[in-house]
Chain A
């Protein structure tokens, strides 16, 4: 690696820290960038510099936006009274891709995990309680992962919101679209059977 100039070597090392990239794939990616310097590398560098300057965590919901308040929180049409609680920004983006939800979000920033010293105050749970009190929320939708940690967090939030009188719902669990029963685990089949609906 001594033949590679220091700047490029540093770029490879930084790229190798990204998820899905190791040193070899980072080297390949950097080579592609170097070959397409004008068409790809310069605009990419410019876009990254711009995002590094402008991207901020929304002070209201925890989403990533271009200012202190993200576009969803700033949009008055999203003030439907429904608040969807998600674990991470990636989950928020997944919900938005579907386009089915028209309300606002609250990003917790993780799940409760006592063994990892992640408690309610580490997450954005106090801020969630404040928002429910301040924003006239009528329904809190718990869109947390169907994992032990995700559901432990969901039950905790349901407990602390219990006195607020707000409706608390959660996403359904069961057979995914395109799923075949033969391939489902017994837990999913059990959950789907419990949540069956009149057909």
Chain B
């Protein structure tokens, strides 16, 4: 078995004295693990930093084997190391992909969005809003896309202000009525309207966090979202 692909490095673990086991999020092969021989060496270890874009060749005798990667660096994302918030964003993205996605299942749309948001960490000041939209897409890829197009109660497309914590459907202010206190606030930035303020981002991430927690508990038996995401939220709230 052999294939070649590009991907973002998600994690590295030492394997014996000289090798490493890495996880890469690739376009055509999804989240995929493999051994890098010499991965702990002075030459290769600096390339194996989470977030780095790699060109990988995976070889194994059988499909079910963990296999071995040979890696070539395509792009380092070392530029984020000096930026506390961007580094927290990078850690959150890598951790979320690791815990949310099953192994070896391609998610080409999410892959493209992941690379775009990783690139934005270094170049786009509005990357937190892009990260929020990336989490929405992640929910969709997990099979629970939010339906924010119209009110679940009245069918109206106007004045959408809440999200049902059960169905993930938008609810308008009129439709919510006395149930408003039990619904999740829907910020404009989740509807793709206007710039996202800090409070809007927090409200948006609270919505995606609610559904991601629920979906990951049922699909992946993960009880808590990664600590790295909590750290990002804490820094964004400052």
Contacts and interface: CB of A to CB of B under 8 A. Distances in A.
A19 to B, nearest CB: 6
A50 interface: no
Contact of A185 (B47, B50, B91, B228): B47
A114 B95 CA distance: 9
B114 to A, nearest CB: 16
A191 interface: yes
Contacts of A114: 95, 226-228, 231
Contact of B78 (A119, A152, A158, A187): A187
B82 interface: yes
Interface residues of A, number: 22
A151 B81 contact: yes
Contacts of B84: 155, 158-159
Contacts of A146: 78, 81
Main secondary structure of the interface of A (DSSP, over half): helix
Contacts of B75: 186
Interface residues of B, number: 26
A185 B78 contact: yes
Nearest to A191: B78
A156 B89 CA distance: 14
A76 interface: no
Contacts of B63: none
B49 A155 contact: no
A114 B87 CA distance: 14
B79 A152 contact: no
A173 B46 CA distance: 13
5 contacts: A114-B95, A152-B87, A155-B88, A185-B78, A187-B79
